[in-house]
Homo-oligomer: A and B are copies of this chain.
């Protein structure tokens, strides 16, 4: 199989994966209507696979996913790419270890983002997945690479695969698209739990050494080998 045939086969597989992973967003109540999107990097090519702009979750199919380059130019597909494609593309261009990106306006995480307040690491589940607080990124307008730059600048200085973009919503990253979706699901879950804890008082702090131990273990021992 030639290199080109191999990339084509990879893209076919990623269309299936990305389309299927979009179903996790409404299923986990992270999005309403057409908001939110999932993308995957095409390994071995400067390309990504993403949802088209403004289409219903009911209508998502592998064949209507669109392919763009890492400057967000349409390469393959009949529909316009998500209006968040520039942000996804910027992340892939500047964070080579990232294989998947997710964007949502999930309720509780976005509420923290509206106040510009990071989610403190006060649960073992936050230590496990995020390795510390979930940080806040800057306010940035859509339309150029401002959002992408804000995401990358924030995530580079944190263990967290999630960033709360001020007055906007959440972006998460992962080694693949499934891992980024997992981070989006867990981000909303802990955003909700810590919010609810805070409503009636102050959550108890955790020691940094405990956070480090939990993060190390979860990243290296949890799941199947």
Residue of B nearest to A213 (CB): B141
Q: Which of B32, B115, B217, B222 contacts A189 (CB 8 A)?
A: B32
Asked whether A70 is an interface residue with its Cβ less than 8 Å from the other chain, the reply is: no
Contact A125 B35 (CB under 8 A): yes
Interface bits A66-79 vs B (CB < 8 Å: 1, else 0): 00000000000001
Chain A interface mostly: loop
In chain A, residues 113-135, which have Cβ atoms closer than 8 Å to a Cβ of chain B?
114-117, 122-125
Q: Which residue of B lies closest to A201 (CB)?
A: B115
Find chain B residues with CB under 8 A from A139 CB.
204, 206, 210
Q: A33-B186, A186-B33 are in contact. Are A125 and B105 (CB under 8 A)?
A: yes
Residue A43 interfacial (CB < 8 Å) = no
Expressed in whole angstroms, the minimum distance between the Cβ of A53 and any Cβ of chain B is 5
**Beyond A115-B197, A124-B169, A141-B213, 20 extra complex contacts between A and B, CB < 8 Å:** A33-B186, A54-B223, A80-B225, A83-B221, A107-B193, A107-B196, A110-B193, A111-B193, A111-B197, A111-B200, A114-B193, A115-B203, A124-B168, A125-B168, A139-B210, A141-B210, A141-B214, A142-B217, A195-B199, A198-B200
